[in-house]
Amino acid sequence: MTLLHKLSTFCKMSQPLRTEVLKVDALSIVFPENAHIDGKLPEVNDAPSRDALLKAAHIIRDTEETVAFPTETVYGLGGSSLNDNSVRNIYKAKNRPSDNPLITHVSSIDQLNRKIYNDYEDGDILRNIPKIYHPLIEKLWPGPLTILLPIPPERNVSLSKLTTGDQPTFAVRIPANSIARALIALADTPIAAPSANASTRPSPTLASHVYHDLKGRIPLIIDGGACNVGVESTVVDGLCLPPALLRPGGFTYEDILHLGGESWRNCKVENKKTLSEGEKVRTPGMKYKHYAPSAKVIVLLPNDSDTQMQLIDKMKVFLSSHQPDIIDKKVAIMTTLKLTPILNEISLFASSNYKGTKTEFLVSELGASGEAIQANLFAALRKADETDNVDTIIVEGISETSEGLAVMNRLRKASGGNIVTI
């Protein structure tokens, strides 16, 4: 190859991609009953939606490029789980560390058997999934539940080793979002898909979030509207004793205990904030900085037993004592369950206490329930950071029960552990 040819090739590789955004109507997609088990294909009754899905499926199946698409949790950045170069392009587009494992998404258990285990036998459809998972997947698939499975024997394995983070297991789920399922089914290709954001940034729940982070890095974004869950899937490991919840997410710890049966009664929660040197990453989100805006994030934890008057006094003390993070800055204050009822008092005091300075406050509510807070969290962090261009985000945390476990997991990482109890 001549020097001129090498230079031409390098320039072509270095040029940003043209990122196309195509809308898909989720309501136009109809799956036959039990398609998530037997792999029957969906019907897509809207021509533009069908064309967009077929274009995305072609990219996944026939090229080494990636596609961003909605799931019920967050938008995913997908490439073929069977193709090393596709997986490399995921890591490259996100600037993601290559030892951070990826979740493989399948459209059906039949596809899991055929495409990952190279198993075309008739018989028990769940034969490649350990029995400990059966009560959970029978109730929670399709949905935001990810399980760890053993990598198939070397003679059968077609799964790219680059998805596993050098582990003897791989992570897999069947998404509930009809657009995601249709894309995977039409491609008939398992899709490795982390969140479709630049690494360390808050996960995207709108196509516009993806475009902000990955424009010029990927060829196609499927716009299916807002994601309704708002945080990533729950990851569980049933291959260890006792079984473990590795990452809280779209299903709660309480869901796992209630629906998993006797085998999950003693399920432990992985509480590691950091990993030991040389320790391998078992699931996404365990090792590296995640979910972080550019703005500084401070998480407030109010005392549940405090009255509203006590909370007002404590907020006055907090706002007065954190001048370096507030004075002459643009500050977003996001409230949840305890501080929302005193939102007006917080806003009035903040404005009067910093009167005469260039300080600007943007006050908002994240939601009145765990589900609403979870669904709104990433979008609120992104709006404050990317649209409002704030310097500091002060966000109220919630109790670590039900959805609160996932919410606080994300807030700890977004804030770098910067949590203040008031």
Task: State yes or no: 193 annotated in a binding site.
Answer: yes
Task: Collect contacts of 267-271 with beta carbons under 8 A, ≥24 apart.
Answer: 267/236, 267/242, 267/243, 268/242, 268/243, 268/244, 269/244, 269/245, 269/405, 270/244, 270/245, 270/246
- Residue 201 is labelled as binding a ligand: no
Nearest to 116 by CA among 37, 188, 32: 188
Contact present, 129 and 109 (Cβ < 8 Å): yes
On the 0-12 / 13-18 / 19+ scale of CB atoms within 10 A, 18 is exposed
5: Cα separation from own chain's centroid = 41
- Specify the pairing of strand 103-105 against strand 191-192: antiparallel
34 is in an annotated binding site: no
347 assigned to a ligand binding site: no
Question: What is the pairing mode between strands 234-237 and 330-335?
Answer: unpaired
List b or e across 266-303, with b for residues whose CB sees 16 or more CB atoms inside 10 angstroms.
ebeeeeeeeeeeeeebbbbbbbeebbbbebbbbbbbbe
247 is in an annotated binding site: yes
Query: How many CA atoms does the CB half-sphere of 269 hold within 13 Å?
Result: 16
Tell me: is residue 263 an annotated ligand-binding position: no
Q: How far apart are CA 346 and CA 422, in angstroms?
A: 14
| Token reading at 287 | 């090792």
C-alpha dist (Å) from residue 2 to 7, 12, 27, 166, 293: 9, 15, 53, 37, 45
173 is in an annotated binding site: yes
Compute the chain's Rg from CA coordinates.
Answer: 23
Q: Which residues contact 138 (CB under 8 A, 6 or more apart)?
A: none
Indicate the SS3 state at residue 412.
helix
Report the binding-site residues: 73, 96, 100, 105, 169, 173, 193, 195, 203, 233, 247, 291
Report the binding-site residues for L-threonine: 73, 105, 173, 193, 233
Report the binding-site residues for ATP: 96, 100, 169, 195, 203, 247, 291
